[in-house]
Amino acid sequence: MNIPFEFNNDKVPDLQDLLPSMPIDLLVKVADKKEFVSQDEEEFLVKASRAAENANVPVLKGLSAIGMLLANATEEIPLETFNDIGWLIQSLGEQAAALQRVQGEAEAILNASNLNKIAKGNGGLMS
């Protein structure tokens, strides 16, 4: 079985462990070597950032909707329901944070690449 990631410790994996992270070679390319990404790599980074953002929007809107429902509940809600909702909110918060990390990594690599491109005279208004 080809598993594209590995776990470095004994903790139980969570969503952040299972989500992909940006390829380290892209980070080395733009941060250490001060190069810029290829057109294909740039397209990948843009798509990864957009996918993470698109996946995060319904999570955040769902959290807001749950808050609205709880704030406006008029009948007695069993304690077990509150416990379940609490665990759901905690899990959704972790998912939102993990997706935000993926989006942030992609955007950081893109921004660094664009700065490197401008610094080398391969982009911007003056090239």
Over residues 89-115, the pLDDT tens digits come to 998 888 899 899 999 999 999 999 999
123 assigned to some structural domain: no
Could you tell me the residue range of the domain that residue 50 belongs to? 32-71+80-110
pLDDT at 87 over 60: yes
6 assigned to some structural domain: no
Task: Please count the structural domains in the chain.
Answer: 1
63 assigned to some structural domain: yes
Task: Kindly report the pTM of this predicted structure.
Answer: 0.73
40 assigned to some structural domain: yes
Can you spell out the DSSP letters for the chain?
---S----SSSPP-HHHHS----HHHHIIIIIS-----HHHHHHHHHHHHHHHHHHHHHHHHHHHHHHHHHT--S---HHHHHHHHHHHHHHHHHHHHHHHHHHHHHHHHHHHHHHHHHTTSSSTT-
45 assigned to some structural domain: yes
38 assigned to some structural domain: yes
126 assigned to some structural domain: no
